[in-house]
């Protein structure tokens, strides 16, 4: 088992090296995407400013708590984008062109390669800016998170990334039936914008759907509540963990069903 794990780490290191080489070959594009993402992040902060020019709170969320939420949401989104977004969106091209044949023939787990072969390095830079915004907002709120809160925040962010990956991977595997599925995948990615809003801003069926069926509200709100000391019971933690495990299991099950439909480039 240790040898197998070491082998996969070595393989992933090679994939990182390849990603660095690719990004540095097109430095202008690399920098441009960072700038575009930062401008979009800045617009989200401006959106918060506009909202709080008309009100003092959204539910129980104050201005700087919501800025903290926007920062946390962007942090999770950028980390997800760094590791998984490009890979999920490219799955349909692998199926359409038959290039998935090559991955199936390699003596490694196919889902591992399909999910992790490309790393978006620019997203790490944008994630760092999100951390800076969170630190600034925490200072305005006079927050002093404990080591336990930092650990809880980090763990819940990882669960949130797992949820995003599982759901988008499920949507990406629809390409085994439709050949192309980029529109569906990018449609879910655009729903990430909902995550920057406080869950208390929504009611009824809309809140239920985006809390449990497509849990974009859970993914960012619960980690932020941990940092802002807005959680009094472990129930919210358990809900997010349960949702994460559920969608991870469903994603693996859906992948195994989907791969059986692949007929390869020669068929």
Q: Evaluate if residue 71 carries a pLDDT over 90.
A: yes
Q: What's the CA dihedral at 61, 63, 66, 70 to 10 degrees?
A: 170
Q: Evaluate if residue 265 carries a pLDDT over 70.
A: no
Q: Is residue 201 part of a domain?
A: yes
| Three-class DSSP category at 196 | helix
For every residue of 58-85, DSSP letters joined together read BTTB-HHHHHHHHHHHHHHHHHHIIIII
pLDDT of residue 78: 92
Q: Is residue 267 part of a domain?
A: no
Q: Evaluate if residue 105 carries a pLDDT over 90.
A: no
Q: Evaluate if residue 236 carries a pLDDT over 60.
A: yes
Which domain covers residue 208, as residue numbers? 38-259
Q: Is residue 33 part of a domain?
A: no
Strand partners, 58: 61
pLDDT tens string 81-95: 999 998 999 998 898
Q: Is residue 188 part of a domain?
A: yes
Q: Is residue 13 part of a domain?
A: no
Q: Is residue 264 part of a domain?
A: no
Q: Is residue 31 part of a domain?
A: no
Q: Taking the model in full, what pTM does it have? A: 0.90
Q: Evaluate if residue 263 carries a pLDDT over 60.
A: yes
Phi-psi region of 108 (alpha: psi -120 to 50; beta: other; left: phi over 0): beta
Domain count, the chain: 1
Q: Evaluate if residue 23 carries a pLDDT over 80.
A: no
φ, ψ for residue 142, nearest 5 deg: 60, 40
Q: Evaluate if residue 32 carries a pLDDT over 80.
A: yes
pLDDT tens string 164-184: 999 999 999 998 888 777 778
pLDDT of residue 267: 53
Q: Is residue 32 part of a domain?
A: no
Choice among 10-19, 46-55, 229-238 with the minimum mean pLDDT: 229-238
């Amino acid at each position: 088992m240790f040898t197998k794990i070491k082998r996969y780490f070595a393989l992933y290191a090679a994939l990182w090296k390849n990603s660095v080489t690719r990004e540095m070959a097109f430095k202008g594009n690399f920098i441009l995407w960072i700038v575009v993402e930062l401008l979009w992040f800045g617009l989200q902060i401006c959106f918060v400013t506009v909202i709080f020019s008309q009100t003092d709170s959204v539910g129980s969320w104050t201005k700087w708590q919501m800025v903290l939420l926007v920062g946390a949401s962007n942090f999770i989104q950028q980390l997800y984008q760094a590791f998984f977004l490009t890979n999920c969106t490219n799955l349909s091209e692998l199926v359409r062109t038959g290039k998935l044949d090559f991955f199936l023939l390699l003596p490694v787990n196919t889902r591992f390669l399909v999910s992790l072969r490309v790393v978006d390095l620019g997203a790490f830079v944008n994630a760092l800016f999100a951390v800076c915004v969170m630190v600034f907002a925490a200072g305005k709120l006079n927050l002093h998170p404990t080591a336990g809160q930092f650990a809880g925040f980090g763990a819940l962010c990882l669960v949130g990334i797992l949820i995003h990956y599982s759901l988008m991977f499920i949507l990406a595997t629809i390409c085994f039936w439709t050949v192309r599925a980029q529109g569906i995948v990018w449609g879910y990615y655009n729903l990430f914008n909902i995550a920057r809003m406080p869950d208390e801003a929504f009611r009824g069926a809309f809140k239920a759907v985006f809390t449990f069926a497509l849990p974009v509200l859970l993914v960012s709100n619960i980690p932020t509540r941990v940092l802002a000391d807005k959680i009094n019971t472990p129930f919210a933690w358990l809900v997010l963990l349960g949702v994460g495990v559920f969608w991870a299991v469903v994603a693996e099950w859906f992948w195994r069903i989907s791969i059986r439909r692949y007929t390869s480039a020669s068929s």
